Amino acid sequence: MNRLCRAAVATANRALPPRRPLAAAATAPPRSATSRNAVLAATTRRWYRGDSGPEERHTNTDDSTLAREEALWEKARPRYDAILERHTNTDHDDDVRRRRLVYRSKQRGWLEVDLLLGTWAAQHVPALSKGDLDEFERFVNLETIDIYNVLTLRADVPEELRSQKEGETSLAERIQLWAKESPLGKADRQKYVEVKTAHNLI
């Protein structure tokens, strides 16, 4: 039995490669960067491309692949534009914008502005034309202190919001005139509560 074990060990030792001395391993020159890059490129190369043909770079507009893609895009463009139009310009956009402007008019944070501008917006914004709606949004985008000064007649309407035509008034000027003639600033407490409740300003 011992004789068989010794024979098996001897056979296994003959099959193993000779061991490299530690000193030789420590002093072996490192692989160059070129050889490492070559190995890396060989291991990461994409070998299978199916039926796609050889890889080509698009270097000019005369390339047949680019021409084919351009033709496909031109064919798909009408459908793309129709889908984009349907998603970006819905029937609800105008109504949402009007509601948002009314809300912004009611929630300025200043009691006088909330009451005056919020009441005007609740009464008039739903019926404004698109041009007037754009002008009203520019007015609402002013600082609250500036809106307050316009509504309480402490300041004139800003130059950029005034009418440029003789004899006409801009929307901001009409709002100021409405605030001037409105009894809200002179109303008693009961009238104030009624207006806030009627126009959902609470």
3-7, 55-59, 117-121: least confidently modelled range: 55-59
Residue of 177, 148, 105, 141 lying closest to 168 (CA atoms): 177
Averaged pLDDT score across all residues of the chain: 76
Is 1 within a domain? no
In a domain, 24, yes or no: no
Domain membership flag for residue 16 = no
Report the distance separating Cα 201 and Cα 110, nearest Å.
Answer: 12
**Looking at the 3D structure of the chain, how many domains does it have?**
1
Q: What tens digit of pLDDT does each residue of 135-151 get?
A: 999 999 999 999 999 99
Write down the pTM of the prediction: 0.49
Question: Is residue 121 included in any domain, yes or no?
Answer: yes
Report the distance separating Cα 31 and Cα 166, nearest Å: 86
CATH number at residue 100: 1.10.150.250
What pLDDT does residue 151 have?
92
CA distance 28 to 166: 95
DSSP reduced 3-state for 56: coil
Does 71 reside within a domain?
no
Nearest Cα neighbor of 158 from 167, 168, 170, 166 is: 170
